[in-house]
Amino acid sequence: MNEKELKSFRRSLLTLNKAEHPIRDLKVADIVYPWIDGIMDDYRVRHEITDSDDYLEFNIKVSNYFNNIYKELEELFDYSTPEDVEEYVWEYLSNEISFFMEENAPDREYFQEGLSEGWLIIEHYFSWSGDDWSKLSEEEKLEHLYYDNITIENLIDELDEVIFWIEFEEKLKQKNKEIEDKEFANCVIEDIKNNFNLLQLNTERE
């Protein structure tokens, strides 16, 4: 089931008579579990952090960003790039990620991990996740829903979270592609050309 079909399924849930359609009849195991479990598995946090089950981890390594920029910087600075320019290159990338998160996941906690901060770790809102949950069979998960009085509203919340991450993943891929494009590097280089004297002056004053 693709994103379009998931959204259609969500709309169908909104029209149901809750009294006539118990949670067991809503294809939870067939539709929701595989998506939640798949997302949790594909983006499971590999770094050692507190409460890792509450987060997802995405690869945001953009080696071409650095390759494209440093190729130009070597020519600009005759293979001796100033330290403040190096910092500017990293800060530019960090700001771009911050802008992306403000636009696409404004209310979620996030941070970066790894030596080059090439992993973006973001909190998720799935209720049904974690090692204990993933070890349950589909029937055991259904039993949990049945006895915990899970509602259609709860199910819709989980579906909304699935749809959010499907869309987020695509947006992040597009952003990474944009950052690694030569045109993006050209914008950074132009900023460096325009701002480097100011950066140098600020450094001297400090």
Find out whether 141 and 29 touch, Cβ atoms under 8 Å: yes
What is the structure's pLDDT at 17?
61
Tokens of 156: 């819709």
3-state secondary structure at position 24: helix
Would you say the pTM of this structure is higher than 0.95?
A: no
Q: What is the mean pLDDT of each run of 10 residues along the chain (206 residues)?
A: 86 71 64 84 93 95 96 87 92 96 97 93 88 79 73 85 96 97 95 72 43
What is the structure's pLDDT at 168?
97
Which contacts (CB < 8 Å, 24+ apart) does range 67-75 have? 68/180, 68/182, 68/184, 68/185, 69/185, 69/188, 69/189, 72/185, 72/186, 72/189, 73/189, 73/192
Select from 145, 156, 144 the least CA-distant residue to 16: 156
